[in-house]
């Protein structure tokens, strides 16, 4: 886009690029190398720029605490279930909005989408008693159910905008052949919608995996903790912080989501920018 043949243009462009890149990537570099520094190297007034004496002790202590693996497993269970539930609910709603016309449709769309702007914190005040009365407080099932709040509105919209691009002729032809509506959806629409399904699943997974607020409020037992609040409680202790352990645990907690994105990011970004998410 820009013409960078002149020296001054190269200089300005290059400087800005390096500054932003440094801001974006240095913290990640620092996270990773800090996990490999022995304590003597970690707690120095003048830090070393790379681990001179790399060790794996922080990983050993982080996993040795025993809770980390369990928290990772809890997070995995909740995030997969929440993502699946969210995808299942959103896909039919998005299909309905895109391919059917009925009175009240637009109104319901407004309602569903506006849910995205209600602060999660405010909804939590009332979700708490709802989950309690369902007998699901302090349970992974209750947390899973609550995570619908985060992703359902945007996921529905992502499916909606995807399905508007699926030609209606395909559906009408099948209907003319006498196929049932559920069969039309599952054999004709669903197979061409895999990119959207992957995107929405990952989106729901990400919200649940990364959440702190709901996880720390709706779960009380140590054995049911997910990684967000679990790590916070384990490491952010003002008196005696174990930063090496915190960094090692962070790498373990980030690995699944980063790996998932590495494979799926191209689809994902298209879906998300089309859905205009927060």
Partner 1 sequence: MTMTSAEGTPAPPRMSAFARKGGLKAHERRVGRLFLLPALAAFALVILFPFLRALGVAFTRSDLQTPEPVFVGLANFRAILATPEILGAFVTTAVYVGLATAGTVVLGLGWALILNQSFRGRAVLRAVTLIPWVLPSTVTAFVWGWIFNSRFGVLNAALVGVGAIPHPTAWLSTTGGAMTAIVITKIWFSIPLFMSFFLAGLQSLDREQIDAARVDGASNFALLRDHILPHLRPVLLVVIVLGVIGNLQHFDTIFALTGGGPVRATSVLSIEVYRRAFDQWDLGMASALGLLWVATIMPAAYFYLRHLLKGA
Window 86-145: residues binding partner 1 (CB under 8 A): 88-90, 92-93, 95-97, 99-103, 105-106, 108-127, 129-130, 145
Residues from 150 through 169 that contact partner 1 (CB under 8 A):
152, 156-157, 160-162, 164-165, 168
- Helix, strand and coil content of the chain, in percent to the nearest 5, comes to 75, 0, 25
207 binds partner 1 (CB under 8 A): no
**Smallest distance from the beta carbon of 66 to partner 1, in angstroms?**
18
At 4, list the tokens.
């960078």
Of 24-32, 52-60, 61-69, the segment contacting partner 1 by CB under 8 A is: 24-32
The least distance separating partner 1 from the CB of residue 128, rounded to whole angstroms, comes to 8
31 near partner 1, judged by CB under 8 A = yes
x/- mask, partner 1, residues 171-190, rule CB under 8 A, reads ----------x---x-----
Task: Give the count of residues interacting with partner 1 (CB under 8 A).
Answer: 109
Evaluate the CA torsion angle 204, 208, 210, 214 in order and state its sign: positive
* 184 class by beta-carbon count within 10 Å (0-12 exposed, 13-18 middle, 19+ buried): buried
Q: Does residue 17 interact with partner 1 by CB under 8 A?
A: yes
DSSP string, 224-272: G--HHHHHHHHH--SSS--HHHHHHHHHHHHHHHHHHHHHHHHHHHHHH
Q: Is 83 in the site for partner 1 (CB under 8 A)?
A: no
In terms of Cα–Cα distance, which of 72, 75, 73, 32 is closest to 211? 75
């Amino acid at each position: 886009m820009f013409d960078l043949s002149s020296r001054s243009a190269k200089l300005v462009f290059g400087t800005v690029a390096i500054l932003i890149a440094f801001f974006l990537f240095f913290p990640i570099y620092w996270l990773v190398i800090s996990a490999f520094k022995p304590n003597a190297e970690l707690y120095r007034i003048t830090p070393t720029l790379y681990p001179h004496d790399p060790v794996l002790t922080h990983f050993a202590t982080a996993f040795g605490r025993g809770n980390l693996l369990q928290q990772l497993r809890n997070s995995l269970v909740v995030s997969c279930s929440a993502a699946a539930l969210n995808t299942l609910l959103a896909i039919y709603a998005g299909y309905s909005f895109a391919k059917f016309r009925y009175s009240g449709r637009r109104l319901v769309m407004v309602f569903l989408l506006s849910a995205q702007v209600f602060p999660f914190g405010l909804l939590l005040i009332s979700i708490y008693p709802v989950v309690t009365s369902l007998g699901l407080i302090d349970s992974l099932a209750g947390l899973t159910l609550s995570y619908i709040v985060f992703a359902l509105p945007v996921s529905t919209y992502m499916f909606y905008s995807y399905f508007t691009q699926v030609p209606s002729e395909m559906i009408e032809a099948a209907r003319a052949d006498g196929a049932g509506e559920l069969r039309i959806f599952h054999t004709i629409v669903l197979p061409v919608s895999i990119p959207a399904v992957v995107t929405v699943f990952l989106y729901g997974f990400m919200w649940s995996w990364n959440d702190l607020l709901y996880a720390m409020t709706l779960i009380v037992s140590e054995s049911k903790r997910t990684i967000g609040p679990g790590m916070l409680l384990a490491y952010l202790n003002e008196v005696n912080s174990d930063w090496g352990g915190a960094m090692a645990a962070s790498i373990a907690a980030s690995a699944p989501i980063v790996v998932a994105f590495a494979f799926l990011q191209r689809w994902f970004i298209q879906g998300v920018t089309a859905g205009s998410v927060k």
